[in-house]
Chain A
Amino acid sequence: MELTEFFRYGFLQRALIAGSFIAILCSTLGVFLVLRRFSLIGDGLAHATFGSVALALLLRMSPLYVSIPIVMLCSLGILKLTERARIYGDAAIGVVSSLGIAGGVMLSSMAGGFNIDLFSYLFGSILSISEAEVYISIGLSIFVLLLIIFYYNELLSITLDEDSAKASGIKTESINTMFVLLTAVTVVLSMKVVGIMLISALLIFPAVTALQIARSFKAVMLTASLSAMASVVSGIVLSFSLDLPTGATIVLINFVFFLTGLTYRRIVKA
């Protein structure tokens, strides 16, 4: 198939546009998550997304609209559990994560068992993304990216040392709240791209790949964004050409990028 012919398909154009925006979004946020050792929040919120998607399907509503507020609430739940209930972040993520799965299974059971729709959200179906979903993905991605750009130095300062950030007058609690809410929105947007089961890969892989190569924070952000975008675009093209599952292809390409970064680092260090 000619490349120009390939890009003539509307569903492929939509997938590539939405996927690219979400890739940049995930990788940018992922750098902060990985460096703050909070990377598994993506997994926890993804499991909460599973519950919210099951609820949406039960109510016959759009999973995107139902999931965003529910997963935002779950992200706040993780933050408050960590801050107030004196439990570690990973345990708080575990609590919300298992509740999400349990809720999803319960709701699916009430709806008469798992169906094809829920399966597509579990493993991603970016090739079936609708025009409305593309616009929402682009709009929310731009909104979240603008917030990250405006609060870049505050986020970096908190990532370096939260106490020093607070002692320099940064409202760390507000920034942390905003940060987990942005993560929640990002996780929900990503479910179409790689699926609920693989969302954390899109958050973690580009960041850890970039950390192998780049030597400054800005370079890490840029490398992670490029790596994520390249993985999503090549993953969509490759999966369509070879009839492979898109989400899994994107994750495996990310793994190849990571191995390349790791090898590069070893060669440079040697």
Chain B
Amino acid sequence: MPIDVLTVEDLSFRYNSSDVLSGISFSIKKGDYIGLVGPNGSGKTTLVKVILGLLKPYIGRITLFGDDIAAFSRWDKIGYLPQHIAAMNPRFPATVGEVVAMGLLSKKQFPKHMNRSDLAEVDRILDLLDMKKLKNTPVGELSGGQQQRVLVARAIVNNPEFLIVDEPTDALDPEMRDRFFDIMQTLNKEKKVAIVIVTHDTGNIGRYTSKLLYVDKKIVFYGSFEDFCTSREITQFFGEFAQHVICHRHNQNPNCPPGDHGTD
């Protein structure tokens, strides 16, 4: 039986004695493509930070690829795409190549110096994302869409098996957003990379992902869109209209055969 990419068991996180997350349990398998959604302040980013070991839970257990997070050392299997990094500041001097190369550090032993094959890997990923000619350009001088592609390149240059993406498309125009999701789709379908995309864009996420994890301090829903679209509890929670919108968009997902999902 294959090991789960991620398991979260009875996780709670507190900040200033108030619960930000409570009783969170779910697991992610290889090849899952999950939309992590919820309203502002629902704890989505906190959940991501706890999963990545950036914050310590109040109680609960997290395993990554079967190892408890405290003992987990195979960070080369993880790719993380944050919303923003310092290099996006126009005053920051790092070039595209320098930023993307940082994505390779997790697989390197001390001293973590780059060699020729690493630089070739950076070139390969920049080529894949049509950014090779920007390799020596400071990231701060790029447009929002180009900066986002740099972060994507950094997150996937290491060929991760589990990719966590936090609010990836906020700065992107619709064309760039579709391109971003095409890249994610390719990684998920062809390389079976498990992907979690954090977004508050509940309406659009169904167009791209296969599962939905709806968090509002606790898990409101976790499962396939098929279950989401036919659940009466969800209808009561979201209202019929909102549920309909999400499910309608999911039916436009080219990877989902039409007519598979109940409500449309």
Residues of A within 8 A of B (CB): 35, 149-154, 156-157, 159-161, 163-170, 211, 214-220
Contacts and interface: CB of A to CB of B under 8 A. Distances in A.
B57 interface: no
Interface string B104-116: 0110101111100
Interface residues of B, number: 35
Contacts of B103: 168
A35 B86 contact: yes
Contacts of B137: 215
B80 interface: yes
Contact of A170 (B86, B94, B105, B154): B105
Contacts of A169: 73, 75-76, 105-106
Given A35-B86, A160-B86, A166 B54 contact: yes
Contacts of B154: 164
Contacts of B78: 167-168
A153 B93 contact: no
Given A161-B85, A167-B78, A215-B95, A153 B53 contact: no
B95 A160 contact: no
Interface in B72-121: 73, 75-76, 78, 80, 82, 85-87, 91-95, 98-99, 101-103, 105-106, 108, 110-114
A149 B53 CA distance: 27
A156 B94 contact: yes
A160 B92 CA distance: 9
B111 to A, nearest CB: 5
A219 B75 contact: no
Given A163-B52, A167-B75, A167-B78, 11 more contacts: A161-B82, A161-B86, A164-B80, A164-B154, A165-B105, A166-B53, A167-B52, A167-B80, A168-B80, A169-B75, A216-B94
B99 A160 contact: yes
B54 A167 contact: yes
Most chain A CB atoms below 10 A, which of B53, B92, B114: B92
A19 to B, nearest CB: 26
B101 to A, nearest CB: 8
B126 to A, nearest CB: 15
B52 A157 contact: no
A134 B95 CA distance: 37
Nearest to B52: A167
Contacts of A157: 102, 105
B82 A164 contact: yes
B158 to A, nearest CB: 8
A157 B95 CA distance: 13
B99 A215 contact: no
Nearest to A31: B93
B13 to A, nearest CB: 16
B111 A151 contact: yes
A223 B78 CA distance: 35
Nearest to B155: A164
